[in-house]
Amino acid sequence: MKKIFLFILTISVCNFSTAQETFPVNGTSNINHNYYAFTNAKIFVDNDLIIEKGTLLIKDGLVVSTGEKTAIPQGTVVFDLKGKSIYPSLIDAYTNYGMPEPKAAAHGLFPQLESNTKGAYGWNQAVKAETEAEKIFISDNKSAEDMRRMGFGAVLTFHKDGIVRGSAAVVSLGEGRANEVMISSEAAAMYSFDKGTSTQDYPSSLMGAIALLRQTYLDAEWYKNNKTKKDYNITLNAFNGLQALPQIFETVDKFSALRAAKIGEEFKVNYIIKGSGNEYQRIDDIKASKCRFIIPLNFPVAYDVDDAYDAVNISMTELKHWEMAPVNPSAMEKYSIPFAITAADLKDKKDFWKNLRKAIAYGLSEKQALKSLTVTPAEFLNVSDKIGKLKSGMIANFIITSGNLFNEKTIIYENWVQGNPYKINDYNTIDLKGIYDFEYAGKKSGLLKIEGEPDKLKGTITVDTAKTLVNIAVAGNSITITFNPKDASGTVRLSGNINNETMKMSGTGQTPDGGWVDWKASFKLAAAVETKKDSAKKEMPLIGQITYPFCAYGKKQDALPGVEKIIGDFKMRDAVILIKHVTVWTNEADGILKNKDVYIANGRIERIADDINATKLEFAKVIDGTGKHLTPGIIDEHSHIAIANGVNEGTHVSSAEVRIGDVINCEDINIYRQLAGGVTSAQLLHGSANPIGGQSAIIKLRWGKSPEEMKFAKADGFIKFALGENVKQSNWGDFNVIRFPQSRMGVEQVYYDYFTRAKEYDARQKAYKTLSDKEKAAATPFRRDLELEALAEILNQKRFITCHSYVQSEINMLMHVADSMGFKVNTFTHILEGYKVADKMKAHGAGASTFSDWWAYKAEVKDAIPYNASLLTQMGITTAINSDDAEMGRRLNQEAAKSVKYGGMSEEDALKMVTLNPAKLLHIDNKVGSIKVGKEADLVLWSDNPLSIYAKAEKTIIDGQIYYDIDEDVKQRVEMQKERARIIQKMIDEKKGGAAIQKPVLKKPKLDGCETMEFNYMSEE
Amino acid sequence: MKKMIKLFCKPRLPLLRRGLGRGVLSLLLFTAITANAQTKSILLLNGIAHIGNDSIIKNSVIGIKNGKIILAADAAIAKIDKSSYDETIDVTGKHLYPGIIAPYSTLGLSEMEAVRATNDFKEVGAILPNVRSLIAYNTDSKIIPTVRTNGVLMVQVTPRGGMVAGTSSVMMLDGWNWEDAAYKIDDAIHLNWPLMQTHKFLDEDNLYYGPYEKNKDYLKQTNDLKKLFADAKAYNEGDAKKEKNLRFEAMKGLFNGSQNLFIHADNVKEIIEAVNFVKQNGLKRAVIVGGKDSWMVTDLLRENNIAVVVSRVHDLPDHPEDDVDQPFKLPYLLQKAGVLFCISSDGNMEAMETRNLPFMAGTAAAYGLTKEQALKAITLSTAKILGIDKTTGSIEAGKDANLFISTGDVLDMRTSNVEKAYLKGISIDLNNDQKALYEKYKKKYGLK
């Protein structure tokens, strides 16, 4: 029975479209070429063109015309839409409508080095360029209906799986076969940083995903141009095919958007970025990316803050984002960034309209809102000739509403998709509101008053002054009234008919005792109209300010409006500081100078003298340095802070292609904490999971600046290498026994193999570069290999090695490899047995960056001694003390001081180990590392001898600007408390108001799954 | 990004707080025996004596006989009979300190953290009161000699597995074997208070954790604890005629006041629950270990005479919003509120890091404490909390002669230089393998 019913349902669908021509028909054909006209409606042709009272004429699923005076042909079905509005149906440019759920196969216990995909596809399982939405799409009326109710008529849909996700299709949300609803079968190419269901180990980190995508672009280009290729590769073929389409990149936060934009810049792709909703937090950089955006309305719900102990776990970022998230769309509008709005990322799709109206209340214009839901997505997806407007020849996707679409009270009556109607609410519902003369059981019984919304009517019967409440239900022209009369016990039930022209009602009903009675009501007068303020014109809610970075200890930078801000910036840039009567640790031949004045301007150290007259120096901030010590800023040669989503790409034996510089996290609170410990620069290193790790980034700790702005300008490139237990996976459990190498013997061969190949690569590349354009065209194209390119840079002295190392045998080995392959090991890091081979290191010319006193944490550090740094220094090796630990990074001065204790190093030399020496190892000693006129003003003012445990960094200066000030810090704590308290009070109100709330949870590490990994790798010794 | 990579680095000991299974060990009680006794009496003259009780004698005279301090006084005032001492050492300008005590430590139970065979601090099971650290304490650990060279002369050796982790003992950092190194046997039982919010591990080795969520087992775990303590109390109060229960037997001291209960709890709510647990069970002596949030409930702690063992001061704040120096100033906050506390070095690379305990006190001094208060937090206060202050923890007449001499301030690495150290009046060896390697390679390179 059920089956038959379903069958009937399927074939009874009546469609106007003719896409089914090739399909056999079961039953009688139902061909319909009727015209349909919608008259007297306010028609929004698009966000700009509005016809106050006009006609929309459609036929065969397409718009014939829209206009004030549209001629209506004979034989047209006419709908009078007086007082109603017509809008183009909305378009969601980011859905997975009708797509299969991506399913991951279980990952085995052993590493999976190769792709599991069957067929002649590319090497990486996460690059799924061959996926085509049009081939796996099935229309799904249940989901379509949910979307239609919200007003959507067409969507972009794609398979959400992989870093390259293949092509997406634009489909209508009508019922019918995939063939019928397909609007654009290849509408866009989809990308992300998320490897999805891929079980292949590579990539395991964000920087790995970035490298994989970059290499894929290069490989595809090479594949395209290479006429003599021997391999057939479906994936690269498909990837090339995708390039003509709009390119959409999914991102998970504002920085991820900037990372995508950077890849786009490199490969000349202007991505449409699927944003995350926090773009407003870096809106200047977002604007500068020149990308277009698709943004969600996923505003977070308030937290339950009643328990003060639990509320501590809600970060400043979360608190502020809760308050400010609704600003995101209006920020995009103000900055003229082209953007579409999507219902994606909403936990409950029902929140779409609520949140959109909220965004409007927070400044988004209604015009822009409509544009972002119609014209913009259509333009993004190259379907603006088909959908998004109600112009002649376009698909008849439109909605009929009771009024302004963005008004809270507005009802969407119908959503027409491809010329087919989908009823949502009945606009023929009779408006019964008013006061009626009421007759019941043959006698006048007073006045019946009906009020409320059509689906929620209520009323009263007034006899003299006595009021009785009545319940009213209306369906079509039928009405049911129930009430409990004062003079009877029980409920009277009346049913009847409404004459919608005369507004008279009549019928019969039953009294509580079962007797049948007649009743009547006739319209007397309209009820008084309630005057309510237009909800859309509410004042912009008060919200806090953006801070840079957008987290704890971030600073407001828009405090100064307009011109004052420009002057403020100017002053900041030219900060002039004069520190008087201070003890200066120069790290130069002058040694430690007592009672000197140091003058800083233009970001540099300008003068060091006995007495510099402050009065002549306008703007100068004068600091009394009496009893205090001024040193060069601390430089951490080995750090893993400020890295987003994975420090290791240890899935391959070499990951020379990955770059920490791609994944700098400028909002890591450890940056601020280390500023408080006097750190001004750090080398952010790849982990030590593989013999050839990734490229590192040298940064200045410019708290508040963007990832790109943090990078140390014009610094040489470095790369991490690693030896010993970590790379041979000694402590990785019983299953990690597959990847080569598993012994120190294998590690040597890894290097010989890679450098042999790098040499050949380098020669090929150089030879190719000498060819003329004509010769190049004739030659086999050169395949750029990001991994070998990084190694070739080492051979060409353009990239330098920092090598994680412990025992003497392996240190010796790498120097032999280097000598025979023609490169140098710039720095051995950790190098705990360096003291055993100090003479050999000296001969090779390697530097050392070591721990002060770590040992006993694994077998290979058995012979580590705290005298190592002293011995290496005495042997004439440039030696630094590093942290490799976010906590220790803020006490590096103390770690250096340990060499005074262990090995009797001079205090001056000890300080150099965390300032000048790491600067030398990083090739930045011509700019920083000592206090010398002309050098960059990266300085720390200490309360005491900087090697003493009692010393505190009072001011940390980078580029002549104070980035940490111990007094300001105290003030900021108070301000943060106030700001938190303010938002918390708002959240309490929200909870009282009955809004949804979420429970705070402890976050240690951050909640993000990938961030978790980052935490784990923060120190990777 | 589902596949995890495990790089063994600094194992996070707090992660090792949970475990399952059971273990049964001998309950024989041993008496501490010192293998060698002091034979020659010593007089330390004119040193700057940091007593350990927040006071200082700038020009001191310290007399040591038969392993005890018999005189600790101002040299200008005290009458001194030099002839009654076998040896007089002039320590003018040098600093004298009581031996530093490291509470809550795995020193001697772990040699190389990544090498499983060398680890003996964790048993299998949730309820392990009868598991005793004493007998696993390795007096020949290569780490121990590197620790005492910085003035740390005693350690509370503590088991870490399970919910009730086991029984600790206070050991001297010198001895032929654990019997003669023991200073106070079975001093305390250690309880890891159940966490209210826990996280799932993302890997099979339980090294890398995922997001936190409410601990659904919290009620069950605390109920298990309540039942255990009720049962153990009833067992120990009742008639002896019953089958022996080694776990209950091991907990006897908690109810008669001879043993301490150390409860590891950091979160403020967990601390409140733990304090109430102590009250409800009528336990006479209890201590909170970790206590990151203890500064928020100082009244409660003070009123209930519950001391705090502050975990490693050199730590990061828990939340980005926290004061940058929150862990540094925690000792000061407790001092100000009048809560008894001491400082421990537990945390990453714990055994090795014990040698940096004096510097953790130094940091506490940089962030609010006076230097003498900071010293007290690693000497006399620790002794009080461990229940050994009658015999050690300060340089006072009548106490064991556990003290050392440094040429400079021992709380600051810049000046710390321990020349001589005594345990019960016996001068201990301050050499270690690291110094030997240093000398060996200096010789190789012809360095001075």
Determine the Cα–Cα distance for residues A362 and A582; give it in Å rounded to an integer: 51
If contacts are CB pairs under 8 Å, which of residues 653-692 in chain A contact chain B?
Answer: 669-670, 672-673, 676, 687-689
Q: For residue A43, which amino acid is it?
A: I
Query: What are the tokens at B141?
Result: 């650990």
Q: Which residue of A has its CA nearest to B356?
A: A853
Does A741 contact chain B (CB < 8 Å)? no
Q: SS in 3 state form for B349-392?
A: CHHHHHHHHHHHHHHHHHCCCCHHHHHHCCCHHHHHHHCCCCCC
Sign of torsion, CA A707 A710 A714 A719?
negative
- CB < 8 Å to B343, chain A: none
Domain boundary residue, one of A324, A357, A386: A386
Residue B408 phi, psi (nearest 5): -140, -175
Beta strand segments in A677-830, E? 679-684, 692-695, 697-700, 717-722, 799-805, 827-830
Both A308 and A327 in one domain: the answer is: yes
b or e along A267-296 (b: 16 or more beta carbons within 10 Å of the residue's beta carbon)? bebebbbbbbbbbbbbbebbbebebbbbbb
Does A952 contact chain B (CB < 8 Å)? yes
A731 contacts B8? CB cut-off 8 A: yes
Give the pLDDT of residue A1015: 32
Which of B9, B202, B269 minimises the CB distance to A309? B269
**Rg (chain B; Cα; Å):** 22
B5 contacts A651? CB cut-off 8 A: yes
pLDDT of residue B278 exceeding 80, the answer is yes
Please list the residues that pair with B42 across neighbouring strands. B64, B87
Does B321 contact chain A (CB < 8 Å)? yes
What is the domain extent for residue A452? 434-525
DSSP secondary structure code for residue A634 in this structure: E
Q: Which residue of B has its CA nearest to A894?
A: B413
If contacts are CB pairs under 8 Å, which of residues 618-657 in chain A contact chain B?
Answer: 645-646, 648, 650-651
Query: What are the tokens at B99?
Result: 């031996």
Residue B14 phi, psi (nearest 5): -55, -25
Both A125 and A272 in one domain: the answer is: yes
- CB < 8 Å to B318, chain A: 1004
Does A835 contact chain B (CB < 8 Å)? yes
Q: How do beta strands A879-881 and A847-850 pair? A: parallel
Q: Which residue of B has its CA nearest to A1004?
A: B318
- Burial class (CB within 10 angstroms; exposed 0-12, middle 13-18, buried 19+) of A98: buried
Q: What is the pLDDT of residues B246-262, one digit of tens each?
A: 999 999 999 999 999 99
Pair A297, A352: CB distance under 8 Å? yes
Q: For residue A20, which amino acid is it?
A: Q
Shortest Cα–Cα distance, A792 to chain B (Å): 28
Sign of torsion, CA B51 B56 B57 B58?
positive
Residue A716 lies in a domain: no
Which of B6, B114, B321 minimises the CB distance to A976? B321
Give SS3 for A120. coil
Both A212 and A306 in one domain: the answer is: yes
Which one of A1016, A1018, A1020 makes the best mutation probe of the B interface by having the most chain B beta carbons within 10 Å? A1016
Give the pLDDT of residue B448: 84
Determine the Cα–Cα distance for residues B411 and B394; give it in Å rounded to an integer: 16
Half-sphere exposure of A330 (CA within 13 A, CB side): 18
Determine the Cα–Cα distance for residues A157 and A180; give it in Å rounded to an integer: 15
Pair B152, B355: CB distance under 8 Å? yes
A1017 contacts B6? CB cut-off 8 A: no
Does B365 contact chain A (CB < 8 Å)? yes
Shortest Cα–Cα distance, A800 to chain B (Å): 24
Does B11 contact chain A (CB < 8 Å)? yes
Q: For residue A244, which amino acid is it?
A: A
Both A314 and A405 in one domain: the answer is: no
Residue A178 lies in a domain: yes
Give the pLDDT of residue A13: 43
Pair B124, B23: CB distance under 8 Å? yes
Is the preceding omega at residue A246 within 30 degrees of 0, hence cis?
A: no
Which of B212, B316, B416 minimises the CB distance to A886? B316
Q: Distances in Å between the alpha carbon of B180 and those of B148, B170, B172?
A: 17, 12, 9
Shortest Cα–Cα distance, A781 to chain B (Å): 34
Number of domains in chain A: 3
Determine the Cα–Cα distance for residues A199 and A114; give it in Å rounded to an integer: 9
Give SS3 for B196. coil
For chain B, domain boundaries = 18-34+100-392
Query: What are the tokens at A474?
Result: 């209306």
Pair A720, A802: CB distance under 8 Å? yes
Residue A486 is part of a domain; what is its CATH number? Answer: 2.40.128
Both A123 and A205 in one domain: the answer is: yes
Domain boundary residue, one of A525, A547, A566: A525
Q: How do beta strands A35-44 and A85-88 pair? A: parallel
pLDDT of residue B32 exceeding 60, the answer is no
pLDDT of residue B6 exceeding 70, the answer is no
Determine the Cα–Cα distance for residues A111 and A739; give it in Å rounded to an integer: 8
Pair B100, B357: CB distance under 8 Å? yes
Determine the Cα–Cα distance for residues A438 and A381; give it in Å rounded to an integer: 59
Determine the Cα–Cα distance for residues A547 and A672; give it in Å rounded to an integer: 14
A862 contacts B352? CB cut-off 8 A: no
Give the pLDDT of residue B429: 95
Both A319 and A201 in one domain: the answer is: yes
Segment (H or E) for A222: helix A206-225
Determine the Cα–Cα distance for residues A171 and A156; give it in Å rounded to an integer: 6
Residue partners of A985: CB distance under 8 A and separation at least 6: none
Residue A314 lies in a domain: yes
Write the DSSP assignment of A479-533 as a string of letters. EEEEE--TTSSS-EEEEEEEETTTTEEEEEEE-TTS-EEEEEEEEEEPPPPPP--
Angle subtended at Cα A142 by Cα A140 and Cα A148, rounded to the nearest 5 degrees: 95
Give SS3 for B12. coil
Both A156 and A287 in one domain: the answer is: yes
Which of B208, B212, B325 minimises the CB distance to A1002? B212
Q: Which residue has the tokens 């042999």?
A: A756
Determine the Cα–Cα distance for residues A968 and A974; give it in Å rounded to an integer: 10
Residue A1020 lies in a domain: no
DSSP secondary structure code for residue A782 in this structure: P
Give the pLDDT of residue A489: 81
Residue partners of A672: CB distance under 8 A and separation at least 6: A552, A553, A703, A964, B324
Is the preceding omega at residue A549 within 30 degrees of 0, hence cis?
A: yes
Which ranges of B281-348 does DSSP label H, i.e. alpha helix?
A: 298-303, 326-336
Both A99 and A204 in one domain: the answer is: yes
If contacts are CB pairs under 8 Å, which of residues 395-414 in chain B contact chain A?
Answer: 411-414
Return the CATH superfamily for domain B18-34+100-392.
Metal-dependent hydrolases (3.20.20.140)
Q: What is the pLDDT of residues B107-135, one digit of tens each?
A: 999 999 999 999 999 999 999 999 999 99
DSSP secondary structure code for residue A772 in this structure: -
Residue partners of A1001: CB distance under 8 A and separation at least 6: A313, A1007, B197, B211, B212, B213, B214
Q: Which residue has the tokens 């997806």?
A: A381
Q: Splitting chain A (1021 residues) into consecutive groups of 10 residues, what average pLDDT does each group show?
A: 43 47 86 94 96 96 94 94 96 98 86 94 98 97 96 98 98 95 97 95 96 98 88 96 98 97 98 98 96 97 93 94 97 97 95 96 97 98 97 97 93 95 87 86 82 80 81 87 82 89 88 88 76 56 91 78 53 76 98 97 94 77 96 97 93 97 96 98 96 98 96 98 94 87 97 98 96 91 96 98 97 98 97 98 98 95 97 98 95 98 97 98 98 98 98 97 96 96 95 88 49 32 37
Residue A269 is part of a domain; what is its CATH number? Answer: 3.20.20.140
- Kindly report the number of other CB atoms within 10 A of residue B11's CB atom: 19
Does A737 contact chain B (CB < 8 Å)? no
Residue A770 lies in a domain: no
Give the pLDDT of residue A468: 85
Give the pLDDT of residue A933: 98
Query: What are the tokens at A789?
Result: 């390119």
Both A85 and A98 in one domain: the answer is: no
Determine the Cα–Cα distance for residues A885 and A714; give it in Å rounded to an integer: 26
Residue A502 lies in a domain: yes
Both A356 and A394 in one domain: the answer is: no
pLDDT of residue B69 exceeding 50, the answer is yes
Please list the residues that pair with B62 across neighbouring strands. B44, B72
Both A460 and A471 in one domain: the answer is: yes
Does B370 contact chain A (CB < 8 Å)? no
Give the pLDDT of residue A191: 98
Determine the Cα–Cα distance for residues A511 and A528; give it in Å rounded to an integer: 32
Does A1004 contact chain B (CB < 8 Å)? yes
Residue A839 lies in a domain: no
Shortest Cα–Cα distance, A294 to chain B (Å): 25
If contacts are CB pairs under 8 Å, which of residues 841-880 in chain A contact chain B?
Answer: 853-859, 861-863, 865-867, 871, 874-875
Angle subtended at Cα A340 by Cα A339 and Cα A343, rounded to the nearest 5 degrees: 140
Sign of torsion, CA A337 A339 A343 A345?
negative
Both A73 and A141 in one domain: the answer is: no
Pair B45, B16: CB distance under 8 Å? no
Nearest residue to A177 (alpha-carbon basis) of A299, A13, A52: A13
If contacts are CB pairs under 8 Å, which of residues 910-929 in chain A contact chain B?
Answer: none
A726 contacts B7? CB cut-off 8 A: yes
Determine the Cα–Cα distance for residues A313 and B268; give it in Å rounded to an integer: 12
Pair B43, B61: CB distance under 8 Å? yes
Determine the Cα–Cα distance for residues A579 and A591; give it in Å rounded to an integer: 18
- Burial class (CB within 10 angstroms; exposed 0-12, middle 13-18, buried 19+) of B436: exposed
Residue A644 lies in a domain: no
With a cut of 0.85, is the ipTM above it? yes
